[in-house]
Structure formats: structure tokens, C-alpha cells
Amino acid sequence: RGGPPQVDDARFLMHASFGPTRSSLATLQGMSYQDWIRQQMQLPVELHREYYRRHVNPSFHATSKETGAPRGPCAKGSRWHNYAFTFKDVGKAIEVVGSSKILVDGVFRTDVESGSL
């Protein structure tokens, strides 16, 4: 520890955790980094994959009242696809409105921003 303690502690937590918080800085105060690491090793294991699947992209539930309800692109539970069309669209009318809106059989499907890739 060479600089101001809180700066060094924050730098340490940036490397050893998901980043410093006021709480983690307070916990680390007066504790050696080695003791902090030992303390972390005693905590129960948590898997990021489990958290991600539970919170970021929730599964479909047949009893959900929000089934099919539109969500904003940044809303909790919004889903993203790498495509705009599926095999079910074969034979349907595809329409481009303006320079970016795509409709399939008259129903809005997606908005494609113009620009180079």
C-alpha cells in the first residue's frame, strides 16, 4: 500500500472483485488484503450463470399475464434476436416503411437503423 489507503483499497477491489462499493471499502478498512481474500474464500460459492439466467432473460411461463406484451428495448425481461425473419415468414408480405421500419403482413416487426456495418 503506497498511496492514500482508500485509493489503494479501491484499486485492489477493482482487481479482486466486481469493483469497490462504500460497503466493501468499509469492510476492507483495517484489514489486510490477505485477510480479505481468506474471508472471501470462506463465503458460499455463487454461480454467475445461475444469476444471469434467473434475472436477465426470464423463461416463458404459460400462466404469465404479460405474455406477448411489448417491452421497451431496455426494459427488464426484454429479449433480443440476431434476426428479423423466420421460416414462418415465407410467403408473407414484407413491407419497408420509410428507411427503417419493417412490417410483416402489416404488423411492425423491427426497426433497422441505417448506417455502415
pLDDT tens, residue by residue, 60-95: 555 665 555 666 767 766 667 778 888 999 999 999
The C-alpha cell that represents 21 in the structure block: 462499493
Q: By residue range, what is the domain housing residue 107? A: 50-111
**What Rg do the C-alpha atoms of the chain give, in angstroms?**
24
Number of domains observed in the structure of the chain: 2
E strands, 1-117, where? 94-97, 101-104, 107-111
Global pTM value: 0.41
pLDDT at 5: 79
pLDDT tens, residue by residue, 10-33: 999 999 998 999 999 999 988 999
104 within domain boundaries: yes
pLDDT at 54: 66
Query: How far is Cα 50 from Cα 29, in angstroms, rounded to an integer?
Result: 31
Helix axes 33-42, 5-16, angle to 10 degrees: 40
Judge if 78 and 96 occupy the same domain: yes
Q: How confident is residue 37, by pLDDT bands cut at 50, 70 and 90?
A: very high
The C-alpha cell that represents 13 in the structure block: 477491489
77 within domain boundaries: yes
Judge if 75 and 102 occupy the same domain: yes
